[in-house]
Structure 1
Amino acid sequence: MDLFRGTTNDAEQQRVLSLDRGLFFVNYKSADDAASPPHVVVAPAEGHERHMEIILHPDATEPTLWRPNSGLVVRVNTPGTLQVQVQPARVGGSRAAIVRVEQIQAGQAPTTFGENNGVRIPMHVATEGLKVLGHVAGRGDVVVGPNAWIAGPTAPSRVEGVALEWPDKPASVDIRYAVQFANGQSGSGKMVPLGTYAGTRGRALPLTAVVLEMSGSDDLRFVAEAGFLNAPTLRAVGRRVVLSGPTNREPLVGIRIGIEHTATAEQVVAPAMPRKSAGSARVRVFRSQQRQASAAR
Structure 2
Amino acid sequence: MDLFRGTTNDTEQQKVLSLDRGLFFINYKSADDSLSPPHVIVAPAEGHERRMEIILHPDETEPTLWKPNSGLVVRVNTPGTLQVQVRPRRPGGSRAAIVRVEQIQAGQTPATADQGNGMEQHTHVATEGLKVLGHVAGRGDIIVGPNAWIAGPAAPSRVEGMALEWPDRPASVDIRYAVQFANGQTGSGRMVSLGTYAGTRGRALPLTAVVLEMSGTDELKFVAEAGFLNAPTLRAVGNRVVLSGPTNREPLVGIRISIERIETAKQVATPATPRKPAGSARVRVFRSQQRQTGAAR
TM-score by length of 2: 0.70
| Partner residue, 2:16 | 14
Determine the C-alpha separation between the residues in 2 that align with 1:19 and 1:129: 19
**How far did residue 165 of structure 1 move?**
0.9
Determine the C-alpha separation between the residues in 2 that align with 1:166 and 1:47: 32
Q: What secondary structure is seen at the aligned counterpart in 2 of 1:262? A: strand
Structure 2 residue 72 is the aligned partner of structure 1 residue 73: yes
Q: 1:17 to 1:221 in 2, by over 3 A?
A: same
Determine the C-alpha separation between the residues in 2 that align with 1:145 and 1:209: 21
**How far did residue 53 of structure 1 move?**
4.5
| Partner residue, 2:85 | 86
Structure 2 residue 126 is the aligned partner of structure 1 residue 126: yes
Q: 1:135 to 1:31 in 2, by over 3 A?
A: farther
Q: What secondary structure is seen at the aligned counterpart in 2 of 1:135? A: strand
Determine the C-alpha separation between the residues in 2 that align with 1:28 and 1:16: 21
Mapping 1:13-92, distance limit 5 Å: 13-18=15-20, 20=22, 24-27=25-28, 29-30=30-31, 39-43=40-44, 45-49=48-52, 53-56=54-57, 58=59, 60-65=60-65, 69=68, 71-74=70-73, 76=75, 83-86=82-85
**How far did residue 97 of structure 1 move?**
5.6
Identity, in percent, stands at 66
Consecutive unaligned residues of structure 2, counting only runs of 5 or more, are 108-120, 267-283, 288-297
| Partner residue, 2:205 | 205
Determine the C-alpha separation between the residues in 2 that align with 1:17 and 1:77: 7
| Paired residues of 1:212 and 1:241 also in contact (CA < 8 A) | yes
Determine the C-alpha separation between the residues in 1 that align with 2:39 and 2:204: 29
Q: What secondary structure is seen at the aligned counterpart in 1 of 2:62? A: coil
Give per-residue Cα distances to partners, 1:48-72, cap 9 Å, x unaligned. 33xx5522373x4311235x62531
Mapping 1:1-297, distance limit 5 Å: 1-5=1-5, 13-18=15-20, 20=22, 24-27=25-28, 29-30=30-31, 39-43=40-44, 45-49=48-52, 53-56=54-57, 58=59, 60-65=60-65, 69=68, 71-74=70-73, 76=75, 83-86=82-85, 98-102=98-102, 123-265=123-265, 293-294=285-286
**How far did residue 224 of structure 1 move?**
0.3
CA-based RMSD of the aligned residues comes to 3.8
Determine the C-alpha separation between the residues in 1 that align with 2:198 and 2:6: 18
Q: What secondary structure is seen at the aligned counterpart in 2 of 1:293? A: strand
TM-score by length of 1: 0.70
